[in-house]
A = this chain, B = another copy of it.
Amino acid sequence: MANLQVLQTEFANLSDFLIALGDEKRQAIIIALLANTCDGLRVTDLTEATNLSRPAVSHHLKILKQAHLIFSRSEGTKNYYYLSHNIQEIDDLKTLLDHVTAIINASGRK
Protein backbone atom coordinates (compact mmCIF):
# COMPACT_ATOMS: atom_id res chain seq x y z
CA MET A 1 0.00 0.00 0.00
CA ALA A 2 3.06 2.19 0.36
CA ASN A 3 2.03 4.89 2.78
CA LEU A 4 4.39 7.77 3.35
CA GLN A 5 5.97 6.34 6.50
CA VAL A 6 6.98 3.21 4.60
CA LEU A 7 8.29 5.36 1.80
CA GLN A 8 10.40 7.42 4.19
CA THR A 9 11.99 4.25 5.56
CA GLU A 10 12.66 2.93 2.08
CA PHE A 11 14.26 6.21 1.09
CA ALA A 12 16.44 6.33 4.19
CA ASN A 13 17.61 2.74 3.73
CA LEU A 14 18.63 3.45 0.15
CA SER A 15 20.49 6.72 0.77
CA ASP A 16 23.93 5.12 0.85
CA PHE A 17 23.15 3.13 -2.27
CA LEU A 18 21.89 6.16 -4.18
CA ILE A 19 24.84 8.29 -3.12
CA ALA A 20 27.22 5.52 -4.09
CA LEU A 21 25.66 5.27 -7.55
CA GLY A 22 25.46 8.99 -8.19
CA ASP A 23 29.18 9.71 -8.24
CA GLU A 24 30.86 9.55 -11.64
CA LYS A 25 34.13 8.20 -10.27
CA ARG A 26 32.30 5.37 -8.58
CA GLN A 27 30.30 4.76 -11.74
CA ALA A 28 33.63 4.33 -13.55
CA ILE A 29 34.71 1.78 -10.96
CA ILE A 30 31.41 -0.08 -11.28
CA ILE A 31 31.69 -0.17 -15.05
CA ALA A 32 35.27 -1.42 -14.85
CA LEU A 33 34.09 -4.17 -12.52
CA LEU A 34 31.18 -4.99 -14.81
CA ALA A 35 33.65 -5.47 -17.65
CA ASN A 36 35.53 -8.03 -15.62
CA THR A 37 33.36 -10.09 -13.33
CA CYS A 38 35.30 -13.30 -13.88
CA ASP A 39 38.29 -13.08 -11.58
CA GLY A 40 37.96 -9.65 -10.00
CA LEU A 41 40.08 -6.53 -10.24
CA ARG A 42 42.75 -5.22 -7.91
CA VAL A 43 43.22 -1.66 -6.72
CA THR A 44 46.06 -1.04 -9.16
CA ASP A 45 43.93 -2.28 -12.05
CA LEU A 46 41.24 0.18 -11.05
CA THR A 47 43.63 3.13 -10.77
CA GLU A 48 44.53 2.56 -14.41
CA ALA A 49 40.91 2.12 -15.49
CA THR A 50 39.70 5.26 -13.71
CA ASN A 51 42.65 7.71 -13.63
CA LEU A 52 42.29 7.94 -9.87
CA SER A 53 45.01 7.63 -7.29
CA ARG A 54 45.25 4.46 -5.25
CA PRO A 55 43.98 6.01 -2.00
CA ALA A 56 41.09 7.54 -3.92
CA VAL A 57 40.18 4.18 -5.41
CA SER A 58 40.48 2.60 -1.99
CA HIS A 59 38.20 5.23 -0.52
CA HIS A 60 35.53 4.79 -3.17
CA LEU A 61 35.75 1.02 -2.86
CA LYS A 62 34.98 1.38 0.82
CA ILE A 63 31.89 3.45 0.03
CA LEU A 64 30.78 0.91 -2.57
CA LYS A 65 31.35 -1.88 -0.09
CA GLN A 66 29.28 -0.13 2.58
CA ALA A 67 26.52 0.20 0.00
CA HIS A 68 26.75 -3.58 -0.55
CA LEU A 69 27.58 -3.11 -4.21
CA ILE A 70 30.91 -4.93 -4.12
CA PHE A 71 32.80 -7.45 -2.09
CA SER A 72 36.41 -8.61 -2.09
CA ARG A 73 38.54 -11.71 -1.84
CA SER A 74 42.14 -11.82 -0.63
CA GLU A 75 44.92 -13.97 -2.05
CA GLY A 76 48.07 -13.29 -0.12
CA THR A 77 48.64 -9.55 -0.28
CA LYS A 78 46.44 -9.21 -3.34
CA ASN A 79 42.82 -8.14 -2.98
CA TYR A 80 40.35 -8.82 -5.75
CA TYR A 81 37.19 -6.75 -5.97
CA TYR A 82 33.93 -7.92 -7.51
CA LEU A 83 30.47 -6.65 -7.99
CA SER A 84 28.05 -8.51 -5.77
CA HIS A 85 26.11 -10.92 -7.95
CA ASN A 86 23.01 -10.44 -5.90
CA ILE A 87 22.36 -6.84 -5.00
CA GLN A 88 19.30 -6.61 -2.80
CA GLU A 89 19.34 -2.84 -3.07
CA ILE A 90 18.54 -3.04 -6.77
CA ASP A 91 15.24 -4.72 -6.03
CA ASP A 92 14.59 -2.40 -3.10
CA LEU A 93 15.17 0.61 -5.32
CA LYS A 94 12.79 -0.70 -7.96
CA THR A 95 10.18 -1.22 -5.26
CA LEU A 96 10.67 2.34 -4.04
CA LEU A 97 10.33 3.73 -7.55
CA ASP A 98 7.13 1.75 -8.01
CA HIS A 99 5.75 3.13 -4.77
CA VAL A 100 6.53 6.68 -5.82
CA THR A 101 4.85 6.32 -9.19
CA ALA A 102 1.87 4.63 -7.55
CA ILE A 103 1.37 7.54 -5.18
CA ILE A 104 1.80 10.09 -7.95
CA ASN A 105 -0.69 8.32 -10.19
CA ALA A 106 -3.20 7.83 -7.39
CA SER A 107 -3.26 11.49 -6.41
CA GLY A 108 -3.31 12.69 -9.97
CA ARG A 109 -6.44 10.67 -10.69
CA LYS A 110 -8.46 11.73 -7.65
Which residues on A are within 8 Å of B, measured CB to CB?
A: 4, 7-8, 11-12, 14-16, 18-19, 21-24, 27, 30-31, 34-35, 37-38, 83, 85, 87, 90, 93-94, 97, 100-101, 103-105, 107-108, 110
Contacts and interface: CB of A to CB of B under 8 A. Distances in A.
The oligomer's copy count stands at: 2
Contacts of A87: 100-101, 104
At the interface, is chain A mostly helix, strand, loop or mixed?
A: helix
A24 B7 CA distance: 12
Given A7-B31, A37-B104, A90-B97, A22 B19 contact: yes
Contacts of A108: 37, 85
Contacts of A107: 34, 37-38
